[in-house]
Amino acid sequence: MKNAVIISFLLFFLVGCKSTSSGIVTSKSEAEKKGMYTAPKHSKVVAKNTRKTTETSKATKKSRITESDDEDFVPDNENTPYLIQQLISSAKQYEGVRYRGGGTTTAGMDCSGLVCTVFNAYDIQLPRRSVDMSKVGEKLKLKDVQKGDLVFFKTSNRGVINHVGLVTEVRDDEIIFIHSSVQRGVIISSTKEPYYQRTFAQANRVLTEEHF
């Protein structure tokens, strides 16, 4: 009798396990088929570009206008082309900015950085280094230098051009130019100053008729 009870219990246990095992869900895919699970729908997330353009990334482009568009335009005595007057005026706005090697902004700029920034603002592209700038355009005699031309200097012991300025005025045989000096930042100087008279190398005209 006792053995019969034990055998009956084992048979009941085995039958129960078999029926229960058939209801076991072992994967999400199987659960989905039986309606016990629904996979979440993933929405696409579009990343927003939060990168901000800094002041040194691009020079602000100025609208190229002519003298007829400028109600405040007053011709100078030399009848200097309007574009050149714009370039000189823009360069003078940086007067007092401190020197910074490689700089091109009001936070600091070097000599070629000043010239490049001013010319680039009017869509006139120049090489970044002063020695490369000196190879652009027409090389001039001192008597032919005019406003808007570039003057170059050799201020190091290497004997190569390493400094540049923008001519703002010409007085007989004296050339006034704006540049960025290592010691004093953006200033206006003269080729009559002993230092620049001694280190002067050449002058170039980089503006051509197509620029006007």
**Active site residue ranges:** 111, 163, 179
81 vs 76: CA distance, rounded Å: 9
Residues 6+ apart with CB under 8 A from 31: 25, 37
**Degrees to nearest 5, angle at CA 118 with 91 and 192:** 45
Q: Kind and range of the H or E element at 113?
A: helix 111-120
182 vs 107: CA distance, rounded Å: 14
Asked if residue 55 lies in contact with residue 107, where contact means CB atoms within 8 angstroms, the answer is yes
